[in-house]
Structure 1
């Protein structure tokens, strides 16, 4: 088979799997979060927490929860006042230590971990056998008044692994953790 045909089939298959993930998880839906709000939030997080340097070199994912006031502020033209309890230096330190995961008050962020665990998996599954709560579950549980959530992933290899329902690292089963946010959620 011609290499171009093989590549086109892979792209179509990847898009089909991603579409199934979106439909199954109900994270990417018609939401009250607009594209503009999501763009402003992700741009702010990338710039404020020095993630731009990682864009071309590392695979990472984060989940950030916002209060109603913060969600509303994403749509106005004022300076964003979000995630003020998060520490940029703490994030850098956490991502450079052996765990490669940051667990803050309103945000959790992980990079590709040891033994090939992708960042999405590391956020949605418990970090050790000693805990039955994942970093995302802990974040959601400690922010009961959060009004909206953004799950952001960059350079993800999830199409072949994390969304494969026969793989032990399947994350689809863990996505209902976001159900409490109704339509105030986005997967980027």
Structure 2
């Protein structure tokens, strides 16, 4: 049997070809969410959510230049008008939705509209991921935190927990980010909210981002207070 001897030069070449996947940093998430708010969603005041996908190369730093390049084909006016009219925006690197009032007085939440398809059609986010082969990292943003009464309700009929698993299970670098705590959850027992959020965090890393800071909501599986308390 022939013996293959691998010299130092070949080892160097092979090591340089290895691709490492590093998770989002708080700095990257802050930069990305601020950039998208400033350039794409600025005038939207009501609850909305979006999912953006970036290439592996863009994800390494997510600088303003990388973000500008990634989102250059998105039309800000079209995106904001679509959201304000309670329709779903389908872009090249981003999909976005508002909540939708139903005839029965209820509402379809923005997060669910992005994660759930109609009939046999793929969901907006599944379609987005299918169209982008290089999925280096995926950012899921919602203005208000997923409510614990519906979206994050364990065992609830309309929760998004299973969909988070189904949609993002093959994405190594991902994050779900919110800005404000859903107002209804400020009146719940904090332990109830943290228990629901822990279920989200088990499926996708969960963060809160203000204009100047981002916080990982669980550190070593322990709640991080800035995610709930202002």
The question of 1:123 aligning with 2:123 is answered no
Larger fraction in helix: 1
Larger fraction in strand: 2
In structure 2, what is the equivalent of residue 93 of structure 1? 81
Pick one of 33, 40, 60 that aligns with 1:42.
33
- 5+ residue gaps in structure 1? 1-30
In structure 2, what is the equivalent of residue 161 of structure 1? 150
* Aligned residues of 1:150 and 1:187 also touching (Cα < 8 A): yes
Tell me by how many angstroms 1:181 deviates.
1.7
* Aligned residues of 1:64 and 1:151 also touching (Cα < 8 A): yes
Aligned counterparts of 2:137 and 2:95: Cα–Cα separation in 1: 15
Aligned counterparts of 2:72 and 2:61: Cα–Cα separation in 1: 13
In structure 1, what is the equivalent of residue 60 of structure 2? 72
* Aligned residues of 1:108 and 1:139 also touching (Cα < 8 A): yes
* Aligned residues of 2:146 and 2:152 also touching (Cα < 8 A): no
Residue 164 of structure 2 aligns to a residue in which SS?
helix
Residue 94 of structure 1 aligns to a residue in which SS?
helix
Correspondence 1:143-158 to 2 at 5 A: 143-158=132-147
Structure with bigger gyration radius: 2
Residue 180 of structure 1 aligns to a residue in which SS?
coil
Aligned counterparts of 1:58 and 1:152: Cα–Cα separation in 2: 14
Tell me by how many angstroms 1:37 deviates.
0.6
The question of 1:136 aligning with 2:108 is answered no
Residue 163 of structure 2 aligns to a residue in which SS?
helix
Residue 154 of structure 1 aligns to a residue in which SS?
strand
| TM-score of the superposed pair, with normalisation by structure 2 | 0.60
In structure 1, what is the equivalent of residue 43 of structure 2? 53
* Aligned residues of 2:47 and 2:110 also touching (Cα < 8 A): yes
Aligned counterparts of 2:64 and 2:108: Cα–Cα separation in 1: 38
Tell me by how many angstroms 1:112 deviates.
0.9
Pick one of 82, 90, 106 that aligns with 1:103.
90
Tell me by how many angstroms 1:100 deviates.
2.2
Q: Cα gap change, 1:167/1:132 in structure 2, threshold over 3 Å: closer, same or farther? A: farther
Tell me by how many angstroms 1:133 deviates.
1.0
Aligned length: 150
Relative contact order, higher structure (CA 8 A, sep 6+): 1
Q: Cα gap change, 1:87/1:32 in structure 2, threshold over 3 Å: closer, same or farther? A: same
